[in-house]
């Protein structure tokens, strides 16, 4: 399964999401949007807006399924936990 996490380095819910994925041995790519610069940062923000309809974090994309926020129940469903 291909999983990407869009997060902010200062966001407690983003840290909880990373911890949850790590605790369950889930491999994922993550992008800390606030640590990016210039065009790369703008592209990440645009992607988050497109995926979530806003700029809420975290945004998790798992094989095309999008979860906005730290939602353990929805993550468990998508990830088969």
DSSP letters spanning 24-68: TT---EEEEGGG--HHHHHHHHHHHHHHHSS--S-EEEETTEEEE
Tens digit of each residue's pLDDT (9 = 90 or more) over 41-80: 999 999 999 999 998 999 999 988 999 999 999 999 999 8
Which residue in this structure is represented by tokens 């994309």?
61
- Alpha carbons 71 and 78: distance in angstroms, whole number: 11
Query: What's the mean per-residue pLDDT of the chain?
Result: 94
Identify the structural domains of the chain with CATH numbers, from first to last. 3-79 (3.40.30.10)
Question: Across-strand partners of 60?
Answer: 5, 67
């Amino acid at each position: 399964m291909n999983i990407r996490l869009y997060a902010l380095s200062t966001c407690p819910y983003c840290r909880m999401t990373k911890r949850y994925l790590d605790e369950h041995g889930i491999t994922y790519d993550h992008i800390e949007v606030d640590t990016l610069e210039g065009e790369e940062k703008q592209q990440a923000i645009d992607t988050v807006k497109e995926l979530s309809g806003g700029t809420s974090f975290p945004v998790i994309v798992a094989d095309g399924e999008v979860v906005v926020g730290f939602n353990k129940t929805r993550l468990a469903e998508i990830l088969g936990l």
